[in-house]
Amino acid sequence: MSVSKKQIYQQCHEQILTLVEGESDEIARMASVVGVLHHALPHFFWTGFYRRSEGGLVIGPYQGSVGCLRIKMGKGVCGTAAETEVTQVVEDVSAFPGHIACDENSRSEIVVPVFKDGVLIAVFDVDSTEIGSFDETDQECLESLLKEVF
Ligand code: SME
């Protein structure tokens, strides 16, 4: 029987919590989230964080092709997630007004806001090369993981 996407998320969740246990550095924690998920989930083509910085968002850590370095609040899918503080699940990026195409191979995307002590510190962005790759399972699993890690 093949392993479901939810089961992969559950295994990653445990692995990440073990990896970051006792580590207070936020970037080390983010790098662990990216490093585990990017290689475990086949639909993760670009996986990374945009951190809150100087009134906007700045890239890193990430894995995948070269991403745009800075994104303004409210711009693109990441800036929208950061401004609204609501997860964005985009079935087809070409239909999202203002989508920022860092890599033209990206076809669908999920962006989850990341909070620490109730304050937005980053967004977690994943791109796929297929349309409609992300669903409620991705949203629920990522939101619950990020709540626990930060
Ligand atoms: N597509 C994103 C920009 C970041 S890249 O996908 C890595 C957006 O519209 O915010």
93 Cα–ligand 1 center, Å: 9
Cα 128 to ligand 1 centroid, rounded to whole Å: 11
Which one of 89, 106, 110, 112 would you pick to mutate in the ligand 1 pocket, going by the greatest count of ligand atoms within 8 A of its CB? 106
Q: Where are the alpha helices (H) located in the chain, listed in sequence order? A: 5-20, 26-40, 76-84, 136-149
Q: At what angle do helices 136-149 and 5-20 cross, to 10 degrees?
A: 10
The domain spans of the chain are: 5-149
At 1 the pLDDT is: 59
| 69-103 pLDDT per residue, tens | 999 999 999 999 999 999 999 999 999 999 999 99
Cβ atoms 55, 131 nearer than 8 A = no
Q: Given the structure tokens 């475990």, which residue do they identify?
A: 40
Please state which architecture CATH assigns to domain 5-149. Answer: 2-Layer Sandwich (3.30)
How far apart are alpha carbons 98 and 11 in whole angstroms? 35
Look up residue 102 and give its two tokens.
Answer: 């860092």
Residues of the chain with pLDDT under 70: 1
Helix axes 5-20, 26-40, angle to 10 degrees: 150
Atom of ligand 1 minimally distant from the CA of 102: 5
Secondary structure (3-state) at 85: coil
Residue 47: what pLDDT? 98
Q: What is the pTM of this model?
A: 0.97
